[in-house]
């Protein structure tokens, strides 16, 4: 039986060692530790070894060839002076791990890193990284994007400062504390008999279908949100009391927690809201198995690093 720990981007997490985040002296010593492990991020993209390809749109086929983060020690600070940093935790050997966030002015040209690697589109990189590296990059992307877009206090408008090893921002003017947010999202597969309902968003590649999804609103349960979103997007009614929670996945686009749901539908009648999705369609279990195997003549589903793949596969193999 699959659990959240088996899902990509969530599996094999390291010890976050959160008790270290307020110890500035320890953090400085850890950053200079001979065994420290450091990687660099720019605009949510990790620096990986080897040649990199162009950004990939949602739903595009992704090369899953194994690759690695371009790991460095303390010398990383020489290449990324002034970069923001976050302490991610300690590996099983106790080695501290940091991510450095560089801005758009940073370039590899003219440094010893030139030719060693490049900044890779997050979706493409995550598909080829090890489970631990994918989890680290997912975490770093969410945190870096939060810092990039939350430089000012939401209470008084003053500039805020990074604290607690990158896991908090503080406002010197009004002393308000700000913490990274995580948005809960239902990602669901309505089921009726031997068929399931999938949808398409505008701009997705031809033939790409996936689960319907939507944010949980205040006052809602995850099951209620799932049913509301299915009706809003496809006009199909479901009963939240019959929805089944499966597993979840941290999703750094920009910072969501995707919660997989199976739910029985009450009818096959579809009425899409074109402002929400481009199309919706019922697929038989045999069709879905062909999609998963890459053998369907005109349809395919999300790759294995997305939770939608496992929500769909769990039903197809049941």
Question: Among 132, 160, 181, which residue terminates a domain?
Answer: 181
**Is the Cβ–Cβ distance between 37 and 91 less than 8 Å?**
yes
What's the rounded Cα separation, in Å, for the pair 278 and 94?
Answer: 49
Same domain, 74 and 156: no
Q: Which residue has the tokens 């080897």?
A: 50
The answer on 158 and 188 residing in a single domain is no
My answer on whether 145 and 227 are in the same domain is no
Range of the domain at 249: 183-316
Q: Which DSSP letter does residue 242 get?
A: G
Of the three residues 161, 181, 201, the one that is the final residue of a domain is 181
Together in a domain, 32 and 110: yes
Assigned token pair, 158: 């003053």
Question: Which CATH number fits the domain that encloses residue 40?
Answer: 3.90.79
Are residues 161 and 208 located together in one domain of the fold?
A: no
Q: What is the CATH number of the domain that holds 275?
A: 3.90.79.10
Task: Please compute the mean of the pLDDT values over residues 43-52 and round it to a whole number.
Answer: 88
Calculate what percentage of the chain has a pLDDT beyond 90.
Answer: 78
Taking residue 170's Cβ as centre, other Cβ atoms within 10 Å add up to 16
Q: Judge if 233 and 282 occupy the same domain.
A: yes
Please tell me whether residue 308 adopts helix, strand or coil conformation. Answer: helix
Q: Does 157 share its domain with 272?
A: no
Helix H, strand E, coil C: the string for 49-64 is ECCCCCCCCCCCCCCC
Q: How far is CA 268 from the centre of its chain?
A: 31
- 231 and 276 in a single domain? The answer is yes
pLDDT (tens digit, 9 = 90+) per residue, 259-299? 999 999 999 999 999 999 999 999 999 999 999 999 999 99
Say whether 11 sits in a helix, a strand or coil: coil
Which H, E and C letters describe 275-286, residue by residue? CCCCEEEEEEHH
123 and 233, same domain (yes or no): no
CA distance 182 to 299: 32
Q: Mean pLDDT score of the chain, rounded to an integer?
A: 93
Per the structure, the count of domains in the chain is 3
Q: State whether 66 and 170 are in the same domain.
A: no
* Same domain, residue pair 237 and 310: yes
At 127-166, the pLDDT tens digits run 889 989 999 999 999 999 999 999 999 999 999 999 999 9
Q: What is the pTM of this model?
A: 0.90
Quick one: which H or E segment has residue 85? strand 84-90
């Amino acid at each position: 039986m699959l659990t959240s720990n088996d899902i990509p981007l969530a599996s094999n997490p390291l010890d976050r060692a959160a008790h270290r985040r307020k110890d500035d002296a320890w953090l400085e010593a850890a950053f200079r530790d001979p065994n420290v492990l450091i990687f660099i991020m720019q605009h949510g993209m990790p620096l990986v070894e080897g040649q990199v390809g162009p950004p990939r749109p949602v739903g595009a086929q992704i090369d899953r060839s194994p690759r690695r983060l371009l790991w460095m020690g303390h010398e990383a600070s020489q290449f990324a002076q002034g970069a923001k940093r976050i302490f991610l935790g300690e590996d099983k050997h106790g080695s501290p791990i940091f991510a450095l966030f560089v801005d758009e002015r940073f370039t590899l040209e003219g440094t010893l890193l030139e030719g060693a690697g490049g900044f890779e589109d997050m979706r493409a990189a995550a598909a080829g990284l090890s489970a631990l590296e994918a989890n680290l990059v997912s975490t770093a992307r969410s945190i870096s994007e939060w810092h990039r877009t939350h430089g000012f206090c939401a209470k008084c408008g003053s500039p805020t400062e990074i604290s607690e090893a990158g896991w908090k921002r503080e406002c010197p003017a009004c002393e308000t504390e700000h913490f990274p947010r995580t948005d809960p999202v239902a990602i669901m597969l309505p089921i009726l008999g031997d068929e399931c309902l999938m949808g398409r968003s505008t701009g997705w590649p031809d033939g790409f279908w996936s689960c319907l999804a939507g944010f949980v609103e205040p006052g809602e349960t995850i099951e209620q949100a799932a049913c509301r979103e299915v009706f809003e997007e496809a006009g199909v009614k479901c009963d939240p009391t019959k929805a089944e929670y499966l597993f979840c996945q941290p999703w750094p686009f920009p910072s969501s927690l995707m919660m997989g749901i199976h739910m029985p539908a009450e009818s096959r009648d579809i009425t899409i809201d074109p402002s929400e999705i481009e199309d919706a369609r019922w697929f038989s279990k045999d069709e879905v198995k062909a999609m998963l195997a890459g053998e369907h003549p005109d349809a395919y589903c999300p790759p294995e690093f997305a939770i939608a793949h496992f929500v769909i596969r769990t039903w197809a193999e049941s």
